[in-house]
């Protein structure tokens, strides 16, 4: 599938290492995805995580499901791994003494929720319990190192998994930067986030790994300069130093190791 992008070559070209698989909260062999479009399940509402809602599988992508909450609109789809603790078979909530909730932004009058729930579950194709896989254990501690490569969900375009580099590490958090893109997509997350994967993950799941952006720096120097955005940002935010009065803007451009004019969208 990912014909045009080869991790092996890319790691060599950039003189970089992959984050070792044991660092991630992901199973070594990706779980099989047995779900089918149209099946229903219970899911935590991403916008209101304490409530459990009914969701429908709208799409299948690698080891992930594209989900839509019943009674919600089509603008708030979200993606979950089949071994995510955010999803469970229908009936789980009730078994635990909980109540299924309308999603945030329920499109009907709140008073119509009980009847809506009844109707949405009536004759629904419920995803069998065996399709839900156990969430892998949390590795301890944070073994990530700056400069290492991985595959990461682009949170602004969550259907995309892209080549990324660890830009910084602080406590149990890691800074995800996307190769060939400016900082617009970067984010901090916990080292045990379910949105980050070892190199080769998409190749194994059949998910489409995006190629890096247009402005990949393939030199070791470039990769190194790219690897510590927080330091660069901090430096660029300081007032110009006495000895070298370089404008902040200029410092940032050179510090990022990226040529100007690359797109962020
Ligand atoms: N704005 C682009 C997607 C950019 C993806 C970047 N991922 C790091 C588009 O909508 O095509």
What per-residue confidence (pLDDT) applies to 4?
79
- Give the whole-number percent of the chain exceeding pLDDT 90: 78
Q: What is this structure's pTM?
A: 0.81
Q: Rounded CA gap, 109 and 101, in Å?
A: 13
Ligand 1 atom 2 nearest Cα: 265
What is this model's ipTM? Answer: 0.93
- Give the whole-number percent of the chain exceeding pLDDT 70: 80
Q: Rounded CA gap, 34 and 264, in Å?
A: 35
User: Residue 127 contacts by C-beta under 8 Å, 6 or more apart in sequence?
Assistant: 35, 39, 40, 41, 57, 89, 90
Kindly tell me if the per-residue pLDDT of 233 is higher than 60.
no
Which of ligand 1's atoms lies nearest the C-alpha of 180?
A: 8
What per-residue confidence (pLDDT) applies to 88?
98
- How does pLDDT run across 165-203, given as a tens digit for each residue? 999 999 999 999 999 998 999 999 999 999 999 999 999
Alpha helical stretches, state H, 28-127: 92-95, 113-121
Pocket perturbation via mutation, ligand 1, pick of 149, 157, 178 by most ligand atoms within 8 A of CB: 157
User: Residue 238 contacts by C-beta under 8 Å, 6 or more apart in sequence?
Assistant: 248
- How does pLDDT run across 96-130, given as a tens digit for each residue? 999 999 999 999 999 999 999 999 999 999 999 99
- How does pLDDT run across 19-68, given as a tens digit for each residue? 999 999 999 999 999 999 999 999 999 999 999 999 999 999 999 999 99
In the structure, how many helices (H) and strands (E) does the chain have? 7, 10
Residues with CB under 6 A from ligand 1: 154, 157, 160, 162, 178, 181, 185, 265
Contact 152, 197 (CB under 8 A): yes
Ligand 1 atom 11 nearest Cα: 265
What per-residue confidence (pLDDT) applies to 228?
40
CA of 107 to the centre of ligand 1 (A): 29
């Amino acid at each position: 599938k990912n014909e045009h992008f080869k991790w092996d070559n890319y790691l060599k070209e950039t003189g970089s290492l992959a984050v070792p698989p044991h660092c991630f909260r992901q199973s070594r062999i990706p779980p099989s995805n047995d779900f089918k479009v149209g099946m229903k399940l219970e899911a935590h509402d991403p916008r209101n995580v304490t409530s459990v809602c009914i969701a429908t599988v709208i799409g299948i992508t690698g080891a992930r499901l594209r989900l839509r909450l019943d009674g919600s609109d089509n603008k708030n789809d979200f993606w979950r791994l089949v071994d995510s603790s955010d999803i469970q078979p229908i009936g789980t909530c009730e078994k635990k003494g909980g109540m299924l909730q309308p999603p945030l932004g329920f499109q009907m009058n709140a008073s119509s929720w009980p009847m809506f729930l009844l109707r949405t579950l009536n004759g629904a194709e419920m995803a069998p319990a065996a399709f839900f896989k156990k969430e892998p254990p949390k590795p301890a501690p944070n073994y990530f190192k700056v400069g290492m490569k991985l595959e990461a969900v682009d949170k602004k375009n969550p259907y995309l998994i892209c080549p990324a580099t660890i830009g910084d590490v602080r406590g149990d958090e890691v800074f995800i930067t996307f190769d060939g893109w400016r900082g617009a997509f970067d984010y901090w997350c916990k080292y045990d986030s379910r949105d980050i994967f070892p190199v080769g993950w998409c190749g194994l799941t059949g998910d489409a790994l995006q190629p890096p952006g247009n402005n990949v720096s393939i030199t070791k120097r470039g990769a190194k300069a790219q690897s510590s955005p927080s330091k660069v940002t901090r430096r660029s935010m300081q007032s110009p130093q006495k000895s070298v009065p370089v404008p902040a803007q200029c410092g940032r451009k050179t510090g990022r190791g990226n040529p100007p004019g690359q797109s962020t969208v």
